Amino acid sequence: MTKNFKFTKQQWSLIEKNMTGVEGRGGTVGKNNELFIQAVIYMGLSKTSWKKVPEEFGNGHAIYTRYRRWHVNGVWDVILNEIKLDKELHNLFKKVLPMRGKKLK
């Protein structure tokens, strides 16, 4: 992956505990939650169209749909709040999540 960010176990636990789509929390379970987050980071850093999500991340429409649901339901804000003490991770997410403010088509 071109813009892959490797999470430490501690960083991933901060993200994962606030995610939806996780086994045992009801609703649909994401096939690969870390790959989804990697796709969002890639999209945020590359600033490319959601229609051009590289195949290695999976179905672009499914990734966008999940991203948008998290936007609407405030999941990104919860994750940002949770990771604020990890400056590296927080700065990365703040950099890639300005997409939150864009009109989601």
pLDDT digits (tens, 9 = 90+) for 66-86: 888 888 888 898 899 989 999
Closest CA to 73 of 30, 31, 34, 21: 21
25 belongs to a structural domain? no
What's the pTM?
0.77
Please check the confidence at residue 25 and state whether its pLDDT lies above 50. Answer: no
What integer is the mean pLDDT of 18-41?
Answer: 69
| pLDDT above 50 for 30 | yes
> Cα–Cα distances in Å, from 73 out to 57, 78, 100?
23, 10, 11
Domain-embedded: residue 16 = no
Domain count, the chain: 1
Please report, to the nearest 10 degrees, the dihedral formed by the alpha carbons of residues 85, 35, 94, 88 taken in order: 40
Instruction: Show the domain range for 68.
Output: 32-101
Q: Is residue 88 part of a domain?
A: yes
**Per-residue confidence (pLDDT) for residue 100, from 0 to 100:** 46
Give the position of tokens 């096939």: 31
Residue 20 is assigned to a structural domain of this protein: no
Has residue 21 been placed in a domain?
A: no
Confirm whether 70 is domain-assigned. Answer: yes
**Residue 104 confidence class, pLDDT cut points 50, 70, 90:** very low
